[in-house]
Amino acid sequence: MKFLIIGGDAAGMSAASRAKRNDPGIDVTVLEKTEDVSYSACGMPYNIADSEREIDDLVVRQADVFREKQDINLLTGHCVESIDTVKGIVTGAGTDGSEFSFPYNRLLIATGASPVIPELPGFDMPGVMALKSLADGRRIRKYLKENNVRRAVIIGMGYIGLEMCEALRTRSIEVDMVKPGPGFLPWMREELSSVIREEVASHNTRLYPGHKIFKIESEEDCLKIICDGITLETDMVLVAIGVKPNSKIAKEAGIDLGLHEAIAVDRSLGTSVSNIYSAGDCADAFHVVTGERAWIPLALRANRAGWAVADNVCGKEVELPGIAGTAVFKIFNLEVARTGLSAEEAARSGFDPEEVVIKTRSRAHAHPGSTSIRIQMTGDRKSGRLLGCRMVGKEGVAHRINAAAVALHCKMTVQEFFQADLAYAPPFSPVWDPLLTAANQLLKKVGGK
């Protein structure tokens, strides 16, 4: 059995390792276009924040360990260009220009995602960078070190942009953030996003939402970002306006794509072509709340899907229930978390949503050090189901969201969730956990079912 994997990051290497654990006799080949495999991509902003560290600290397992200890035929510098799904052959070119082709019995496409770079003048200049691969992280670290960067502009205000904002501010670099869209974190309600906006602003970062970007120009001693209404001068630009799935070779091979051009997979991670699987940031998933396809590329799903592909390749018949869209990030002193749908998203999926926003204490009455937690919670009036939750606070947010995520997996009603026996001690929450307080308010709108 020849199990061929395109892509050596989270999904690809998880699949490779697990396949060899499942069946030491299986022939596993991984084709990775870069020189880097198995690293903590999400750790890059925190690594970049510290001028004393090396980007390679983030490598979880060296390529040679996969090769020598795990007997995986791991080939870096191998860029796949096409898949012949009839003959079962993958072809491409090495970084040295040599051509290669590999036959497969089972193929995993784990090509990941790439940063979206606007097709505008100046975005290909030195000093204009994105952050997705370890090579990107290496490039940013090098640029910061060699160019005495004092000012940076981040284009985009999503979680990578915000994490990088904190990283650069930690290195005392001035940060401006700009984006074309008007809203700041538009996937949450103003009552929550305004708290984050204030936190960012209080760390001497200027935010310019709602400014269309025209071009970047290079002056003698700076880069100029020419936007509608403003021009920002800076030493470097980080482009963080989102990612797109690397699905081109899959599309050209006739494999079905779904939402956002991500590779469409079933619950077994199979694509529309037999014997070809996809996992990681290039593939979609089913959403446990809507039951519909969703493309929310995150690390846990990539690892989980890689494992599931390996299990299926080895004959285990595994199906994944899907994702709840659970995510968390830290921005300065705030924790921001989400799972499931907002009312706006829920309405688009055919629910009859109601939503509440509450503000509670993070600790018990009269307990010192208490701060605020704000929760936006969404439920369905027809079924009474809990649909989603967003949360912001200085403490008790990152892990608290998981209770709601589990509830979404179980399709709990708001009423049932409100009855959950959650933990209480004065340093950690009020007697009624903030999640329960939100559920109780929401219950008044969706009714007990």
- The answer to the question of residue 431 lying near a second copy (CB under 8 A) is yes
Report d(CA 301, CA 16) in Å as an integer.
Answer: 16
- The answer to the question of residue 429 lying near a second copy (CB under 8 A) is yes
Q: Which of 174, 167, 186 is nearest to 232 (CA)?
A: 174
- The answer to the question of residue 162 lying near a second copy (CB under 8 A) is no
Structure tokens at 213: 């970007």
- The answer to the question of residue 266 lying near a second copy (CB under 8 A) is no
Residues 295 to 324 in contact with a second copy, rule: CB under 8 A: 298-301, 303-304, 320-324
Structure tokens at 140: 């940013």
The residue (of 208 and 432) whose beta carbon lies closer to a second copy is 432
Report d(CA 57, CA 29) in Å as an integer.
Answer: 25
The residue (of 53 and 150) whose beta carbon lies closer to a second copy is 53
Residues 340 to 399 in contact with a second copy, rule: CB under 8 A: 364-368, 396, 398-399
* Options 403, 445, 447, 449; binder of a second copy; rule CB under 8 A: 403
Handedness of CA 425, 427, 430, 433 (dihedral sign): negative
- Strands 174-179 and 151-155: what pairing? parallel
Can you tell me which residue has the tokens 């921001």? 336
Number of residues that bind a second copy (CB under 8 A): 67
* Options 157, 195, 240, 337; binder of a second copy; rule CB under 8 A: 337
Do residues 67 and 325 lie in contact, with contact meaning Cβ atoms separated by under 8 Å?
A: no
Q: Label each residue of 76-104 as H, E or C.
A: CCEEEEEEECCCCEEEEEECCCCEEEEEC
Query: Binding string to a second copy for residues 96 to 125, with x set by CB under 8 A, is what?
Result: ------------------------------
Handedness of CA 65, 66, 71, 76 (dihedral sign): negative
* Shortest distance in whole angstroms from residue 413 CB to a second copy: 11
Do residues 109 and 51 lie in contact, with contact meaning Cβ atoms separated by under 8 Å?
A: no
* Shortest distance in whole angstroms from residue 211 CB to a second copy: 28
Do residues 70 and 17 lie in contact, with contact meaning Cβ atoms separated by under 8 Å?
A: yes
Do residues 50 and 22 lie in contact, with contact meaning Cβ atoms separated by under 8 Å?
A: no
Residues 408 to 427 in contact with a second copy, rule: CB under 8 A: 409-410, 412, 416-417, 419-427
Strand ranges for 273-367 from DSSP E: 276-278, 285-286, 293-294, 327-331, 334-340, 353-361
Residue 186 to residues 109, 141, 191, 300, Cα–Cα distance (Å)? 32, 30, 11, 24
Report d(CA 132, CA 117) in Å as an integer.
Answer: 12
* Shortest distance in whole angstroms from residue 101 CB to a second copy: 33
Q: Which stretch binds a second copy (CB under 8 A): 129-137, 185-193, 294-302, 353-361?
A: 294-302
Residues 37 to 76 in contact with a second copy, rule: CB under 8 A: 40, 42-43, 46-47, 50, 57-58, 60
Report d(CA 203, CA 197) in Å as an integer.
Answer: 10
- The answer to the question of residue 158 lying near a second copy (CB under 8 A) is no
* Shortest distance in whole angstroms from residue 438 CB to a second copy: 13
* Shortest distance in whole angstroms from residue 311 CB to a second copy: 10
The residue (of 1 and 328) whose beta carbon lies closer to a second copy is 328
Report d(CA 251, CA 309) in Å as an integer.
Answer: 20
The residue (of 5 and 373) whose beta carbon lies closer to a second copy is 373
Concerning whether 222 is annotated as a catalytic residue, the answer is: no
Catalytic residues: 42
**Under the rule (CB under 8 A), what is the footprint of a second copy?**
10, 40, 42-43, 46-47, 50, 57-58, 60, 288, 298-301, 303-304, 320-330, 335, 337, 339, 364-368, 396, 398-403, 405-407, 409-410, 412, 416-417, 419-429, 431-433, 435-436
